């Protein structure tokens, strides 16, 4: 089973691909898709969708996973996140992928063992779970964590 983990963001969307066979997981690839903050919104969203479509075409995942949306204190930030998620999920939908959504606390608990883990703890655990993987940044690390959580959680649902 090939799983694409996603950490959608308008400024920089992270993605991570793992192979899951039973309880065993292996790193396939990961990366980040930044957008130009000076570009018009439609152009930024189109570039996200196109980049994720290319990732999907290259790695041919069986399914995708993303963190559930959360509401920021700033409504503009929440709206931008929702638009980025829409572009990313549209790329998955166009490819016929099922997208599972998981709460951030559940992702942290599945990867680290506690839902209150910070980013440093998640990244440290990724080094243990995916030895030798070169992780392309914090957003890519978050996406890999989502993929790993999905591998563990969906098999139990």
What is residue 74's predicted lDDT score, i.e. its pLDDT? 81
List the catalytic residues. 7, 67, 139
Residue 131 burial class via C-beta count within 10 angstroms: exposed 0-12, middle 13-18, buried 19 and up: exposed
Which segments in the chain show pLDDT lower than 50?
A: 157
**For residues 39 and 81, what is the distance between their CA atoms, to the nearest angstrom?**
16
Position 146 scores a pLDDT of 97
Residue with tokens 């990867």: 111
- What is the chain's percent helix, strand, coil content, to nearest 5? 50, 25, 30
Handedness of CA 144, 68, 63, 48 (dihedral sign): negative
pLDDT of residue 157: 46
**So what's the pLDDT on residue 71?**
66
Region of residue 30 (phi > 0: left; psi between -120 and 50: alpha; otherwise: beta) = beta
Q: Which residues pair with 101 in a beta bridge?
A: 66
pTM listed for this prediction = 0.94
């Amino acid at each position: 089973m090939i799983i694409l983990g996603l950490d959608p963001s308008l400024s920089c969307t992270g993605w991570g691909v793992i192979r899951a066979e039973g309880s065993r997981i292996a790193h396939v690839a990961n990366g980040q898709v930044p957008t130009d903050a000076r570009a018009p919104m439609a152009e930024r969203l189109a570039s996200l969708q196109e980049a994720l479509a290319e990732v999907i075409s290259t790695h041919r995942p069986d399914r995708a996973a993303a963190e559930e949306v959360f509401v920021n204190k700033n409504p503009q930030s929440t709206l931008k996140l929702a638009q980025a998620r829409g572009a990313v999920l549209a790329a998955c939908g166009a490819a016929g992928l099922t997208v599972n959504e998981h709460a951030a606390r559940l992702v942290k608990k599945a990867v680290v063992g506690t839902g209150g883990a910070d980013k440093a703890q998640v990244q440290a655990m990724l080094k243990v779970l995916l030895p030798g993987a070169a992780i392309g940044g914090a957003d890519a690390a978050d996406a890999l964590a989502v993929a790993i959580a999905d591998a563990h959680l969906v098999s139990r649902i």
